Structure 1
Amino acid sequence: MRGASASAMQQARWIAGRRRSLPFPHQLGRSATLGLPARHTAPGAPSVTSTSTTSPRDLYPHRSQSTQPPLRARLLSTSTAFSLSPTNPAMASLTPPQPAPTWTHSADDVLRLTKEAIEKDKAALDKIAALKSEECDFDSVFFALAEAETALDAVVEPLSFYQNVSPSKELRDASNEAEVLVRDYGVDASMRLDVFQAKVAAEKNIKASGKKLDAEEQRLVDKMLLDGKRAGLALPEAQREELMKLKKELSQASLEFSKNYNEENSVVTFTLEELKGVPADVVSGYTKRTDGGKDVYDVTMKTPDIFPIFRTAEDPETRRRANEAYDRKLEVNAPLLDKMLGLRRKIAGMLGYPTWADYVTEVKMAKNAKTVTEFLDDLEQKLRPISAKERTTLLALKQAEHAAKGLPFDGELYLQDFWYYQRRLLERELELDDQKVKEHFPVSKVVPAILEIYQHLLGVQFVEVKGPQLWHPDVQQFAVWENGAKDGSGFVGYCYLDLFPREAKYSHAAVWPLLPGYTRRDGTRSYPLAAMVANLAKPTPTAPALMQHSDVVTFFHEMGHVFHGLLSRTRFARFHGTAVARDFVEAPSQMLENWCFEPAVLEKMSSHYETKKPLPRDLIDKIIKSRYVNVGLYYLRQVFFAKFDIKVHTDKEPTDYTALWNDMREAITTVKFKQRAAGQGSFSHIAGGYDAGYYGYTYSLVFAADMYETVFKPDPLDPARGAKYREAILRPGGSREEDDSLKEFLGRPPNSEAFVRELFGHTQSAGSNL
């Protein structure tokens, strides 16, 4: 989890002990690196790697848009869609047992329906709270609570989605207002002592009756009781009231942090001469104006605008100014972060946890902050020797170029140097021409090819559903069926693809699990609904829409989240699909990114937009090799983000967080920064959803690497292996411990050996005890 608005959404969707779905933003669009799937970075905190036209990975989280001109220019292009014919055409005539929803709400509808859903939920909780002690049992309390939270989510999840995708400002504003209503209600509902007392009575009666619950029922009981403890319902009344006040203060500070992030609109200005080296199509999209009698260009902090300067501007002073402007862009958030950290310390203390990190990790695979810290310390030490060699190589490139241009050389590697010389290194070492690679990935080929790969691997078929009014004409809707389905019993769920950029749309790549699947009390099934939101290039009248390899990886990753939601089959919605531990949730999609570095798969996904030929083997080999370029420096930066996150959530006293941010960044990444700005204001994960959880993006790679190497590596396209993956990993969702799912899939407990082999490649000094 996971972007301009992702953290706000994440924070809003975990309602104090009641499960709501989270969007799963792709933390880093990339064209490569590391056989371990993927690299993840914090919103507003660029990775240490270059992302030029020849870069192995993109610099910013959640999207890969370096193939596109700036947004202003992109919006002039035309929309597109693709066709995907089912393998069995007869399936197109099947009628889903659950009708496709329509998206015709007005702003008034959004607020009215949200308020009605809240009132219905409150009435359901009132009914449970009114039960006599002897009337409390599994069905009357725990099942009833599961039904109530599912009914609330079924209404408010789709309505809150509008704020990310609707072209109507009125509807987006109403959706945001509805989100706030649900958030505030969630805090109040989570603190209802009368409902908690009904849970306690029900558990006592279940034990006394000798009734044996099945595994998922028992897990529901355990989780709902833990919700009460973590909400503070065991505290005396005065402390509960204080806790509720602190929670609402924290919620408000998080909202303000995210609002500032979303509305950031600063610019940095350059002359055309200062922009030498930046591609002409990029420069043409900048806002041009006259200042002091000369033409200047305003560059926003948005990815398509500033991204190319970091990696292609030849003037080191231009790159420095761009980087420093980016680092300063959200200093306004620094005081809000101070406030949030203070509130979290107080809340954790009141709840009896040593630190906020211990509170957060209690319900994750790591279980406590100590485990996380030890994992990050060990990884950092293993990365040191590799990163030192990489740094020396980049410094040699810098020294040679500065000597040739007559520029001074101080022997230091600055962040602006890193991205630029990363590109130069790839040009020199691999002769990797990203323009040639991109020509083999037209959107019209890649998207259906990826869906066809998933169809084959996982035994499903997509059938486009025409007719229902959607939130925008670009959106496509698909019914997903089991292979060979003959009637409604083979229906899986619905998938939306909203793939192209437009004004005011969520600007990254993410999946929203809008509705979970679950079994109703009468035994009938409610089917899941997932939306994939991306910002792929559109075609123009004179040019096709092409994707960088990083865009391809992003799409493959996000579809992994879609299928996690579609192919899960749990009894209770609370456990459906991606409702797993946050330090495991990325592992399935991270594992699937490996497919994008398999020669056979790359050939299937590629087709030159003119010749229709797949990627040649020499380009495939270069893409695969580029995965390992500067892996040490990259992961040290990820360690920095994770360590800063854990440190501020384990320290018992406040400190100067700007100084801490800058000190830790230089010490861990080994890359210098001339400016000491409050860069933590751009670390949007920390505002909510991933607080004390950023480590999860690296932690989950251990499981991703193990799953891929152990099961899929011999034959990534084998449907039998795909069926095993469906059954062991996707189907159970969060209905059992993640370790149990991994043991079933791997045939043994998970270990880090594959992770170490992939991460360190041919380096022998890494060891194997991570």
Structure 2
Amino acid sequence: MASSSKYSKPPQPPPCFTATPKSLVEDTKRLIERSRGVQDGIAKDATSDTASFASVNLPMARDDNKMGIEAHIIGFYQAVSTDSGLRDASTEAEKLMDDFGIESSMREDIFKLVDAALNKNETLDPESRRLLEKDHKSYIRNGLGVPAGAKRDRFKDIKKRLSEIGITFQKNLNEEKGGLWFTPKDLEGVPEDVVASLKKGEGENEGKVWLTYKYPELFPTLKYAKNADVRKKVYMGNENKCNQNIPLFREAIVLRDEAARILGYPNHAAFRIEDKMAKTPETVDTFLGDLRERLAPGGLDEMGKLQKIKQEDLKRRGLEKSYDGHYFLWDHRFYDTLMLEQDFSLDQQTIAEYFPLSSTIRGMLKIFEDLFGLVFVEVAGASRDQVSPTGKGEDIVWHPDVQVFSVWDDEGEGSGFVGYLYLDLHPRDGKYGHAANFNLQPGYIDEGGKRRYPATALVCNFSKPTPKKPSLLKHDEVVTLFHELGHGIHDLVSRTTYSRFHGTSTVRDFVEAPSQMLENWCWTPTQLKSLSKHYSYVSDAYKSAWQESASNGSASQPPETMPDSLINSIISTRHVNDALFNLRQLHFGIFDMTIHEGSSHDAVEKMQISETFNRLRKEISKLDGPEVLGEGYGWGHGQATFGHLIGGYDAGYYGYLSSQVYSADMFYTVFKADPMNGKEGRRYRHTVLERGGSQDEMQTLVDFLGRKPSTEAFYRELGLS
């Protein structure tokens, strides 16, 4: 991270977040009218004889570019704003935008012109050729291959309803406020700082605390609460939150299947996978089935060891009579954590003391600087006023907690501007509840040949700092942060002509690969050392608080960076219970394919979705749920919280596993011997990340690897080769 004056004046101001509920809707209508005018103009001026890429596709691509500068932020407010009025307006605006998108994608007059332009077979640069072909295919996939009439009208109605479902489903998740009241005694074993941060009860709940299903409260409880009944209540509550999403999920599955059949596909999976790297559902099913077969024996072996630890733990606590031979879903995080502590000396609380959020972020940015030739400059204090288009620094963030960085090329890369990076890292009411990267403004080349620079945001939910401790990350949270920052870097360094292909705008079964590859740096001893800094060195106040908490205040201050013994304990656990973890991912992937590969529309309509979700979980992950207690498979509705399958990963969740094939191959082939090889890092930046989706993703891999990708490193990493 730098503060040199040469990096203080970006050539493009950051976006502003000064919208009102009224302006969001008005701006959306203005953007829609402008785009409709562009399309109407093309339809008026071009004919099948005169249609060309320049007269038909290029004006729409340039309009898309401009649209992205405002539209992404308009939709972003619903994920991050503390103002419910702004969130509602953002939701309304997104519905308007989606409806217009459906209208545009089904304009037959424009499609005929795109078809004529494609048939001209002009000589175009590769990215423009790809845009033309993608545009053409998109119109067909949006119903224009279906004769005009009742079927096409029905398809359009389905598309509109699916858009409404997606927006409402995610809004329900963002605004979910469920939880449970517990006494501090109920939460025995949960870290004190977590319990101390919980809302205190009043009246009938005097003496109790309110535990929500937000990650910073949910996961520590499932990992550390000694009382199995408490873990069960929390687990079951989380599986049954957002029940208003249950009918929405079912409706989406049924409508997707109907739409795919209208287009002539046998099911939704065949429709979705056709334009991905896998191409066919059969390829996906074979991959998932093979992986399941390879992982199952290891999963049973791992569960046997964990079951033994459970039995010993209950005996040690005088609860041996409560052991019933089962290993439950709400047992797993607890005994997995206990195994890591007992057998591998992995003390998660001590490890977290070495990963204060602020210094860990600085360490990560330094890795990306060295590897990719970047410079990150924090925009804070008076410098915010200087770069803000309004002169007010508070206008360039949506919340006071948000950090902003201007990102530049280092001297070796030419010292040019790259874009803006935003970090929004702590939970709050109404905020998106997981960890994700959001593009705020895409990059592209404008009509005058000038570069328009991107802005990207990491939205996460790590615990908040307190007067006695900064926000401290568990190692798995460090991995999550690195992963999402990897998406952010992909978004920043992309160099495409059209915003359509910018950054992470790749096929879904490739998009995770770059971030998954970068996770390897979180398992490299030298990088863990460089990322670490004991929180007692962050400030004098934290040093004093640490001394007060240490036994009798006489303990000597820990080393500033993580000791090798702790680092080794982290590295040694990388593949502990790996089979069970990957079987969990397989459960999600196989469930996704199962509900989207119905043998008939009638079969899809009759599918028992909750029962299917829970039955597959038991069959694949091997862990017991309430079904073994005679409650049947309808005990929970996990799909109602599964935002991925409504938000774009439908018939695509397998991509998290298939992308690992590519990420493992890239890391082991190029970076394993020397993870901080700057020459290879820059080659990776220019060969993979810069391309975005502007060329076929398999070609990108071949360009980088020098050959087609192989599964060997993936299976070797899992111990299955």
* Structure number having the greater helix percentage: 2
Q: Secondary structure of 1:134's match?
A: coil
Cα distance change on mapping 1:711 and 1:558 into 2, 3 Å: same
Equivalence for 1:483: 410
8 Å contact kept, 2:91–2:167: no
Deviation at 1:148, TM superposition (A): 1.8
Aligned residue identity for 2:129: Q
8 Å contact kept, 2:214–2:433: no
Distance, in Å, in 1 between the alignment partners of 2:24 and 2:593 is 38
Return the match for 2:682 from 723, 729, 732: 723
Distance, in Å, in 2 between the alignment partners of 1:633 and 1:689 is 26
Deviation at 1:503, TM superposition (A): 4.0
Q: How does 1:339-378 map to 2 (within 5 A)?
A: 339-378=251-290
Q: Does 1:127 align with 2:53?
A: no
Q: Does 1:266 align with 2:178?
A: yes
Q: Does 1:439 align with 2:386?
A: no
Cα distance change on mapping 1:281 and 1:293 into 2, 3 Å: closer
Deviation at 1:612, TM superposition (A): 5.9
Deviation at 1:175, TM superposition (A): 1.8
In the TM superposition, what whole-angstrom CA distance separates every residue of 1:579-632 from its partner, at most 9, and x where no partner exists?
Answer: 111111010011001011111111111122335621111111110111111111
Equivalence for 1:666: 618
Q: How does 1:459-474 map to 2 (within 5 A)?
A: 459-465=373-379, 466=383, 467=385, 468=388, 469-470=395-396, 471-474=398-401
Question: Unaligned 5+ residue runs, structure 1?
Answer: 1-83, 761-765
Equivalence for 1:225: 136
In the TM superposition, what whole-angstrom CA distance separates every residue of 1:635-656 from its partner, at most 9, and x where no partner exists?
Answer: 1111111101101000121221
Distance, in Å, in 2 between the alignment partners of 1:134 and 1:573 is 28
Q: Does 1:325 align with 2:237?
A: yes
Question: Unaligned 5+ residue runs, structure 2?
Answer: 389-394, 537-557
Cα distance change on mapping 1:472 and 1:293 into 2, 3 Å: closer
Deviation at 1:288, TM superposition (A): 4.3
Aligned residue identity for 1:334: I
Equivalence for 1:67: none
Aligned residue identity for 1:124: V
Cα distance change on mapping 1:169 and 1:292 into 2, 3 Å: closer
Q: How does 1:277-316 map to 2 (within 5 A)?
A: 277-289=189-201, 295-316=207-228
Distance, in Å, in 2 between the alignment partners of 1:707 and 1:132 is 47
Q: How does 1:566-577 map to 2 (within 5 A)?
A: 566-577=492-503
8 Å contact kept, 1:191–1:240: no
Deviation at 1:568, TM superposition (A): 1.3
Distance, in Å, in 1 between the alignment partners of 2:497 and 2:340 is 50
Cα distance change on mapping 1:136 and 1:266 into 2, 3 Å: same
After TM superposition, where is structure 1 displaced by more than 6 Å over at least 4 residues in a row? Answer: 290-294
Q: Secondary structure of 2:405's match?
A: strand
Deviation at 1:746, TM superposition (A): 0.8
8 Å contact kept, 1:380–1:639: yes
Distance, in Å, in 1 between the alignment partners of 2:215 and 2:434 is 10
Deviation at 1:226, TM superposition (A): 0.4
Deviation at 1:739, TM superposition (A): 0.8
Equivalence for 1:242: 154
Return the match for 2:478 from 552, 563, 573: 552
8 Å contact kept, 1:91–1:485: no
Aligned residue identity for 2:10: P
Q: Secondary structure of 1:135's match?
A: coil
Equivalence for 2:565: 618
Cα distance change on mapping 1:555 and 1:256 into 2, 3 Å: closer
Aligned residue identity for 2:249: L
Equivalence for 1:173: 88
Q: Secondary structure of 1:511's match?
A: strand
Equivalence for 1:650: 597
8 Å contact kept, 1:331–1:677: no
Q: Does 1:752 align with 2:711?
A: yes
Aligned residue identity for 1:644: F
Return the match for 2:339 from 405, 421, 425: 425
8 Å contact kept, 1:91–1:486: no
In the TM superposition, what whole-angstrom CA distance separates every residue of 1:35-86 from its partner, at most 9, and x where no partner exists?
Answer: xxxxxxxxxxxxxxxxxxxxxxxxxxxxxxxxxxxxxxxxxxxxxxxxx424
Deviates most, 236-245 or 397-406: 397-406
Return the match for 1:697 from 635, 639, 656: 656
Deviation at 1:141, TM superposition (A): 0.6
Return the match for 2:515 from 563, 577, 589: 589
Aligned residue identity for 2:708: P
8 Å contact kept, 2:170–2:643: yes
Deviation at 1:518, TM superposition (A): 1.4
8 Å contact kept, 2:216–2:461: no
Q: Secondary structure of 2:438's match?
A: strand
Deviation at 1:741, TM superposition (A): 0.8
Deviation at 1:291, TM superposition (A): 7.9
Query: Cα RMSD over matched residues?
Result: 2.1
8 Å contact kept, 1:330–1:679: no
In the TM superposition, what whole-angstrom CA distance separates every residue of 1:219-241 from its partner, at most 9, and x where no partner exists?
Answer: 11110000011001121111221
Cα distance change on mapping 1:613 and 1:390 into 2, 3 Å: same
Distance, in Å, in 1 between the alignment partners of 2:492 and 2:350 is 35
Distance, in Å, in 1 between the alignment partners of 2:242 and 2:429 is 22
Distance, in Å, in 1 between the alignment partners of 2:253 and 2:27 is 34
Distance, in Å, in 2 between the alignment partners of 1:275 and 1:478 is 39
Q: Does 1:182 align with 2:97?
A: yes
Equivalence for 1:74: none
Equivalence for 1:61: none
Q: Secondary structure of 1:480's match?
A: strand
Cα distance change on mapping 1:317 and 1:478 into 2, 3 Å: closer
8 Å contact kept, 1:729–1:741: yes
Distance, in Å, in 2 between the alignment partners of 1:473 and 1:273 is 35
Aligned residue identity for 2:2: S
Deviation at 1:667, TM superposition (A): 0.8
Deviates most, 495-504 or 244-253: 495-504
Aligned residue identity for 1:484: E
Deviation at 1:522, TM superposition (A): 2.5
Return the match for 2:433 from 503, 507, 510: 507
In the TM superposition, what whole-angstrom CA distance separates every residue of 1:549-581 from its partner, at most 9, and x where no partner exists?
Answer: 223222221221111111111111111111111
8 Å contact kept, 1:364–1:581: yes
TM-score calculated relative to the size of structure 2: 0.89
Q: Secondary structure of 1:481's match?
A: strand
Distance, in Å, in 2 between the alignment partners of 1:283 and 1:638 is 30
Cα distance change on mapping 1:148 and 1:532 into 2, 3 Å: same
Deviates most, 494-503 or 376-385: 494-503
In the TM superposition, what whole-angstrom CA distance separates every residue of 1:208-264 from its partner, at most 9, and x where no partner exists?
Answer: xxx322211211111000001100112111122111112122222333333333333
8 Å contact kept, 1:517–1:573: yes
Return the match for 2:2 from 53, 64, 85: 85
Deviation at 1:289, TM superposition (A): 3.9
Deviation at 1:425, TM superposition (A): 0.8
Q: Secondary structure of 1:497's match?
A: strand
Deviation at 1:293, TM superposition (A): 9.3
Bigger RCO (CA 8 Å, 6+ sep): 1
Equivalence for 2:581: 634
Deviates most, 406-415 or 708-717: 406-415
Deviates most, 417-426 or 220-229: 417-426
Q: Identity of counterpart residues, as a percentage? A: 41
Cα distance change on mapping 1:634 and 1:529 into 2, 3 Å: same
Distance, in Å, in 2 between the alignment partners of 1:369 and 1:293 is 52
8 Å contact kept, 2:95–2:164: no
Equivalence for 2:248: 336
